């Protein structure tokens, strides 16, 4: 079983490994026949080129701002909304929850044109804000649905006990519900971040100015043309683009696995 697992890991990880190795090889080595696996000489020149001679850092900053902003907005709204959908009884609650799921099932490409027109009319097209707003529209339903099931797994008695102990509804929410929902919130935040970080289509349609471009479209636009692909720079860029997500996963791994575990506290 171990052998199978490791084989799968190797197969999946190989492209990443190749990416890292290629990024530290000299360009001349890339197209050698026979191809080399390990670099003959390690060089970081591509990284320096990317940082110093291209707008890469601008794109990086833009992506970071958009992804963090999207994550914050989504988490705040989804946590409160999920709590409401899970705990309060009001007419049409189940219908609303189903609608939320339904909007998430819509392919995002369907909404691009109307969203673009809306942004132009609002005068916010071609801004970081427009992308944050756009990403929120499809990250939020997913986050609501995910967090709702986490909230449903939190025993109702906990909140009742807090209320009897003198907490207001908001105090009960912050003191008791949030800490219990934390694994779920962290997983949802990470997913929202990755969704926003990796998004390409909306970025391409909604933003055309260099200064506002995020990494996805910026790097593609810069390094891939009809005539040439700057492989070394592309690999270096890919490595740097993967770093925040990998670091995030590594730091939050414990929370994530708890979050994956059926999203709940034992009753």
Partner 1 sequence: MAKVTFDRVRKVFNDAVAVADLNLVVQSGEFMSLLGPSGCGKTTSLRMLAGLEFPTSGTISIADRVVNEVPPGKRDIAMVFQSYALYPHMSVAQNIEYPLKKRGVGRADRQIKVKEVATLLQLDGLLERKPRQLSGGQQQRVALGRALVREPAVFLLDEPLSNLDAKLRSHMRAELIQLHQRIGRTMVYVTHDQLEAMTMSDRVAVMSNGVLQQCGTPDEVYNRPVNAFVASFIGTPSMNFVDVTFERTADGVRLTAPGLSLKLPSHALRQEAGGGGRSTVTIGIRPEDVLVANDGAPALVKVFESTGYENIVLFEMGGGNLVGRFGPDVRLRTGDHVTLQFRTSKLHVFEGRDGKRLNSDIEPIAGRAAGRSA
Collect contacts of 18-23 with beta carbons under 8 A, ≥24 apart. Answer: 19/235, 19/238, 19/239, 20/235, 20/239, 22/231, 22/232, 22/235, 23/47, 23/232, 23/235, 23/236, 23/238, 23/239
Complex with partner 1: residue 171 or 211, whichever CB lies closer = 171
Complex with partner 1: residue 40 or 171, whichever CB lies closer = 171
How many CB atoms lie under 10 A from the CB of residue 221?
Answer: 15
Interaction between residue 91 and partner 1 (CB under 8 A):
no
State the nearest-atom distance from the C-beta of 151 to partner 1, in Å: 15
Complex with partner 1: residue 130 or 180, whichever CB lies closer = 180
Complex with partner 1: residue 165 or 211, whichever CB lies closer = 165
Complex with partner 1: residue 163 or 252, whichever CB lies closer = 163
Site track for partner 1 across 97-136, x = CB under 8 A:
----------------------------------------
Interaction between residue 76 and partner 1 (CB under 8 A):
no
Interaction between residue 262 and partner 1 (CB under 8 A):
no
Interaction between residue 164 and partner 1 (CB under 8 A):
yes
The correct pick among 132, 180, 192, 238 for binding partner 1 (CB under 8 A) is: 180
Interaction between residue 179 and partner 1 (CB under 8 A):
yes
Complex with partner 1: residue 2 or 89, whichever CB lies closer = 89
Q: How far from chain centre, in Å, is Cα 30?
A: 31
Cα separation, 59 vs 222, whole angstroms: 11
Interaction between residue 152 and partner 1 (CB under 8 A):
no
Residue 103: Cβ-neighbour burial (10 angstroms; 0-12, 13-18, 19+):
middle
**Dihedral sign from CA coordinates of 117, 123, 128, 130:** negative
The correct pick among 50, 100, 176, 223 for binding partner 1 (CB under 8 A) is: 176
Token pair recorded at residue 217:
């479209």
Give the binding range for partner 1 (CB under 8 A) out of 27-35, 37-45, 52-60, 171-179.
171-179
Complex with partner 1: residue 15 or 179, whichever CB lies closer = 179
Binding residues vs partner 1 (CB under 8 A): 155, 157-158, 160-168, 171, 175-176, 179-180, 265, 267
């Amino acid at each position: 079983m171990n052998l199978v697992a490791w084989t799968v890991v190797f197969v999946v990880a190989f492209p990443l490994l190749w990416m890292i190795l290629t990024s530290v090889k000299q360009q001349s080595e890339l197209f050698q026949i026979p191809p080399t696996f390990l670099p003959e000489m390690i060089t970081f020149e591509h990284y320096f080129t990317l940082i110093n001679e291209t707008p890469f850092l601008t794109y990086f900053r833009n992506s970071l701002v958009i992804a963090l902003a999207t994550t914050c907005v989504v988490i705040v709204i989804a946590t409160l909304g999920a709590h409401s959908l899970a705990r309060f009884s009001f007419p049409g609650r189940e219908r609303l929850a189903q609608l939320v799921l339904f909007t998430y099932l819509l392919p995002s490409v369907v909404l691009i044109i109307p969203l673009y027109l809306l942004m132009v009319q609002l005068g916010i097209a071609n801004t970081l804000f427009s992308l944050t707003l756009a990403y929120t529209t499809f990250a939020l339903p997913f986050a609501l649905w995910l967090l709702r099931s986490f909230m449903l797994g939190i025993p109702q008695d906990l909140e009742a006990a807090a209320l009897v102990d003198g907490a207001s509804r908001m105090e009960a929410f912050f003191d008791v519900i949030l800490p219990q929902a934390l694994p779920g919130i962290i997983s949802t935040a990470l997913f929202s971040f990755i969704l926003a970080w990796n998004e390409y289509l909306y970025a391409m349609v909604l933003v055309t100015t260099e200064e506002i471009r995020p990494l996805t479209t910026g790097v593609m636009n810069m390094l891939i043309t009809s005539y040439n692909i700057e492989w070394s720079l592309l690999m270096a860029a890919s490595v740097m683009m993967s770093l925040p997500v990998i670091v995030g996963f590594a730091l939050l791994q414990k929370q994530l696995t708890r979050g994956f575990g059926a999203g709940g506290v034992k009753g």
